Amino acid sequence: MSGESANERIFVSGPWVTELEVSYVAEAARTAWLDKAGVFNARFEKAFAEYMGSAHAASLPSCTSGLHLALAALGVGPGDEVIVPDLTWIASAAPVSYVGATPVFADVDRATWCMDAASFESLITPRTKAVIPVDLYGGMPDYDALLAVAARHNIPVIEDAAEALGSQWKGARAGKLGRIGVFSFHGSKTMTTGEGGMLVTDDDALFARIQFLRDHGRIPGDVSFVNAEVAFKYKMSALQAAFGLAQLERVEELVAKKRQIFSWYEERLRGLPGVTLNAQPDGMLNSYWMVTIVLDPALAQAKGLDKARLMALFKAQNIDTRPFFSPLSSIPAYADTDQGKAARARNAASYAIGPYGLNLPCGMSLTEAQAERVCASLKDILNSKPAA
């Protein structure tokens, strides 16, 4: 296998780092201090805003902090409700709890695994103050339908594009569909700063509020340390910004590599009975952050193959995988809440997908031979007899 051991460990994710990133970080380590402390952050933010076609961009320590700032800047608080998809990582909902509001869990579309517009609309109440659609694993929901619902009810859209840098909906970049868009640069992401995030918006007044809130409630230009409000400390370090700037200069090749990796899997798994891969409906370009399979529930149950069992079988072959996110309404953090209980009774699609999905290895260093090995292992698993 191209010089690699037949049983060499295959990791589920990992970055693509070149000498460009190393040189930028070294420069920041030498120079980004005192009056030059913010130079790399400013360069990164300007370049990211230009890439997105956005008026403003703010570099942050995480995507979660971006969601928190967005909700706070919009004035969401106790007594309010924010609609989020049930099938996502907790970071999409936790900031709603941070501001004292209530997350309401919408069901997802069975094909895209993203928020279903009809479910979203059915959950709107007079207390609904925002919606946070999530571009899951690089896929995107039907934004024509979602934005139409939001517009009818005058609900601000905060797009959680944490996993979808490089994806597009009808020519619009992921992160540009809502009033605010947020991204993650976690170490597993297509483009990374190790940890980190970015917020983008075209709303001048909202951005000014976000800038104020992310710096401990300081009025811009304040040098007296006299804070106007109790706010937050949400800034990215210069070293992270330098790394991110280098990655952004390579973003097209990073996204292209992700799409190439997906093509290796699609070629080998297309048409495999009972197995569904990431969707790319007409009008959407999927950046395929995570190559994901979902087993048909009937097949999975017949074979005794929930995601935990699948992970164990792959691990025995020295292949790392990740479980598909569990519905938020099923996890301990939210299961006992009124909204968690209500969502479990209605969100059939989320519960048909979450238990039977798996993220396959798709790190930037993955080779085609390794993808072939993963696919062969999956086929062996599916062809084996059910566990007694």
- Chunked into runs of 10 residues, the chain (388 residues) has average pLDDT values of 71 98 98 97 98 98 98 98 98 98 98 98 98 98 98 98 98 98 98 98 98 93 90 98 98 98 98 97 97 97 96 98 98 98 98 98 98 98 80
148 and 230, same domain (yes or no): yes
Are 117 and 141 a contacting pair, CB within 8 Å? yes
CA distances from 359 to 14, 16, 37, 299, 337 (A): 13, 19, 39, 18, 28
Q: How many residues does the chain have?
A: 388
**231 and 256 co-located in one domain:** no
pLDDT at 7: 86
Q: Where are the alpha helices (DSSP H) in 123-279?
A: 143-153, 204-213, 238-249, 251-269
In terms of domains, do 108 and 154 share one? yes
Q: What is the pTM of this model?
A: 0.96
Q: Which CATH number do you get for residue 54?
A: 3.40.640.10
DSSP code per residue over 11-66: -S------HHHHHHHHHHHHH-SGGGTTHHHHHHHHHHHHHHT-SEEEEES-HHHH
Please indicate, yes or no, whether residues 238 and 359 belong to a single structural domain of this protein: no
Residue 216 backbone class (left: φ over 0; alpha: ψ -120 to 50; beta: rest): left
pLDDT tens-digit series, residues 259-268: 999 999 999 9
Residues 24 and 147 in one domain: yes
Looking only at the bridges linking them, the beta strands covering 128-131 and 81-85 are parallel
Is the same domain home to 205 and 343?
no
- In the numeric block, which tokens belong to residue 338? 């009124």
Q: Report the amino acid identity of residue 277.
A: L
Query: Does residue 192 belong to any structural domain of this protein?
Result: yes
* DSSP one-letter code for 191: S
Q: 175 and 212: one domain?
A: yes
User: Is residue 120 a part of any domain in this protein?
Assistant: yes
Sequence-ordered alpha helix ranges (H) in the chain = 19-31, 39-52, 63-73, 94-98, 117-122, 143-153, 204-213, 238-249, 251-269, 297-303, 307-315, 332-335, 338-346, 348-353, 368-383
Cβ proximity of 210 and 179 under 8 Å:
no
Q: Are residues 119 and 88 in the same domain?
A: yes
Helices 251-269 and 238-249: crossing angle in degrees, nearest 10, is: 60
Residue at 145: amino acid letter: A
- Give the span between the Cα atoms of 285 and 170, in whole angstroms: 8
- CATH assignment of the domain containing 353: 3.90.1150.10
Query: pLDDT at position 4, please?
Result: 59
Give the model's pLDDT for residue 2: 46
Other C-beta atoms closer than 10 Å to the C-beta of 188 total 19
Domain that holds residue 242: 19-249
The residue type found at 311 is: M
Amino acid 41: pLDDT: 98
- Which pLDDT does position 1 carry in this prediction? 40
